[in-house]
Structure 1
Amino acid sequence: MESSQSIVLGDVEIFRVVEWQGTLMPGTDLLPDTTDQTWRDNTDWLEPDHWEPDTGLVVGAIQTWVLRSGGRTILIDTGVGNGRERPSRALFHHRHGDFLNRLTQAGVHPQAVDLVVNTHLHGDHVGWNTHDVDGQWMPTFPNAQYLIPTADDTYFGPTGGYAGGRRPDDRLIYEDSITPIHRADQAVLWDDTYRIDDNLTLESAPGHTPGSSVLHLESGTDRAIFVGDLVHSPIQLLHPSCSSCLCLDPHRAATTRRRILEQAADQRQLVIPAHLGGSGAVEIRRAGTNFTLGEWAATPAAPR
């Protein structure tokens, strides 16, 4: 990547590869505890990267964050993937995109990836774990270890009845994107915390899913936290009690979100959610019992 396309925090280089970007759903559907006025009160900074005031639709991205740390190439989440059966999600169903070409053009060849972090096991975070090889799902990154939260592996896998069998997609996601990783002996399950290297540590952050996690970056004087789906919209940085409609345990997600954001504010961590458009990362400050936005990171806008 050209230097203008990445940022460096301490000894870690960071950039992202976008699989998809566009409008998702009305803001009040994504965050049921908000009102239309909540969104309109913040139009000046939400538009155009995070919300469309004319339609009321949230703008988001499906993207992979790429880290170079300790001589290794690390991917945080792997998007939707191609050719998947996803009957519950039209956007993901039988999708065919050029994500792998984008990844290669960014200088990341699948064989050179050392580690894949799945922050949780929803379908838009694990899709490119695998790809179709002669009709069989195989690991896309053949030399990588895949870090998978144990709680999600249990809940979404056969032990948990594929998330209780409520959605056919959950079984399909696990069987095409997780089972092949186990079969290839590339899965590493972890609980509570997991130290990747001197710069990076995973921490459990349950609520969105049972095993949802965040990744802490601490290198030199720089701090960042990749919060996955703990934050779907920057509105939640100002209103941390508002969980998304996609959270399996909204109350627990809100409690976890506040704890993580308090830590981020106190430690001056750059907050990097999974799905934000625009620069994709922002600092936050305490404002009484809530937070206010600081500086947005100088990362390049994700392509549409």
Structure 2
Amino acid sequence: MHSHSTPSPSGKSPAWDLGDLTVRRIDEVALPPQTGPWLLPAATPDVVAQAPWLRPDFADDAGTLRLSSHSFAFVADGLRVLVDTGIGNGKTRANPAWHHLDSDYLARLDAAGFPPQTIDLVILTHLHTDHVGWNTYADGATWKPTFPNARYLTARTEWNHWATADMDEARRQMFRDSVDPIRDAGLLDLVDVPAAGTDIAPGIRLIPTPGHTPGHLAVELHGRTATALITGDCIHHPVQLLQPAMGSCVDIDPQQAAATRRHLLASLADTGTLMLGTHFPSPTGGLVQSHGDSYRLAPAPAASAHHSPTPH
């Protein structure tokens, strides 16, 4: 993997300043090069070549997409929040890139000023394996909540979908080790998210972005001087700005996912709202700009700021 996309724990975490709210990226792992062709099969090297702005950050010269796994952490009006929890360590997974991962994620969380016990709220954009993994950690043979003082929040629509879905064994395993222990501990909150979105705390709004999963959420952050939107998986990679109809192989409702993406991109284009991609490699953030009959992402690199610890 390329050195610039291989994270290492340090006192610096990439940060975006929205005024009174600073969003930090907490790196977990760079995803292997074969992820792109599997996840976004329509993003062939020929298609990637149509968007020279993707290189060098979001794709390499051969047209291979770069993707990563990370969380976003911030403090909003005193509330300490984590959005999505990645793949997790030591978990039995069908995907070899995720199987028994051993990353320094918790050390990076600490270094960024967000020790697990200080987190008040964990927002799960959806209940997929690579977004819920650090919900729990192994304590001997049991899986315990990593963030014991937090409420874990997801959409009721999302929960209801999986509660009745015919899941394969790999997904059942993920629920057993990463979702059920949270529910059993009484830490899971299900939120009704109307079409217009809903404010869950000052500066934090949940936006329904269905299609990838039925209850998928994006997270809109309103700071004093800027607004940001955390994508989750309604947009996996900036190449989808070139072709908003381009879906991922794991979208449950591909047509709805494409409609959601078109609507979201149209609402963000040329507004100055910072888009933060949950799987976008560094620089991760950017501004959506109209470009012909589609869009492009103008990178908005983070500042690597030393954290100033906020009293809990």
Q: Same fold (TM over 0.5)?
A: yes
1:95 aligns with 2:101: yes
The count of corresponding residues between Structure 1 and Structure 2 is 292
- Partner residue in 1 for 2:66: 59
Q: Deviations over 1:262-297 (max 9, x none)?
A: 111254311111011121011012345422333x21
1:177 aligns with 2:185: no
Shift of 1:101: 1.4
- Structure 2 residues not aligned, in runs of 5+: 1-9, 305-312
Structure 1 residues 300 and 48 mapped into 2: Cα distance closer, same or farther (>3 Å)?
A: farther
**Counterpart position of 2:229:** 225
Contact preservation (8 Å) 1:28, 1:36 = no
Query: Identity, % of aligned pairs?
Result: 35
CA contact (8 A) 1:77 1:118 kept: yes
| Residue of 238, 241, 263 corresponding to 2:245 | 241
| 1:286 aligns to 2:290 (yes or no) | yes
CA contact (8 A) 1:27 1:39 kept: no
Q: Letter of the 1:293 partner, please give it.
A: L
Asked if 1:116 is matched to 2:122, the reply is yes
Supply the distance in 2 between the matched residues of 1:146 and 1:63 (Cα, whole angstroms): 17
Distance 2:289 2:58 in 1: 20
Aligned with 1:120: secondary structure?
Answer: coil
Q: Which amino acid aligns with 1:228?
A: G
Shift of 1:8: 1.3
The answer to whether structure 1 residue 138 and structure 2 residue 144 are counterparts is yes
How many Å separate the matches in 2 of 1:103 and 1:3?
A: 10
Instruction: Let me know the Cα RMSD of the aligned residues.
Output: 2.1
Match of 2:7 in 1: none
Contact 2:36/2:66 (<8 A) preserved: no
Q: Aligned with 1:11: secondary structure?
A: coil
Q: Report what 1:104 is aligned to.
A: 110
Q: Which amino acid aligns with 1:8?
A: D
Match in the other structure for 2:307: none
Matched, 1:31 2:40: yes
User: Residue 53 of structure 1 aligns to a residue in which SS?
Assistant: coil
Aligned to 2:58: 50
**Secondary structure, in 3 states, of the residue corresponding to 2:67?**
strand
User: Which of 204, 214, 225 pairs up with 1:210?
Assistant: 214
Moved more, 97-106 or 140-149: 97-106
Query: TM-score scaled by structure 1?
Result: 0.89
Deviations 1:181-214 (A, max 9, x none): 1111111101223422221101211100111110
Q: So what's the TM-score if we normalise by structure 2?
A: 0.87
State the alpha-carbon separation in 2 of the partners of residues 223 and 134 from structure 1: 42
Residue 16 of structure 2 corresponds to which residue in structure 1? 7
Residues 1:271 and 2:275 aligned together: yes
CA, structure 1 residues 3+175, in 2 after alignment: closer, same or farther (shift >3 Å)?
A: closer
Counterparts of 1:223 and 1:289, CA distance in 2: 25
Corresponding residue of 2:156: 150
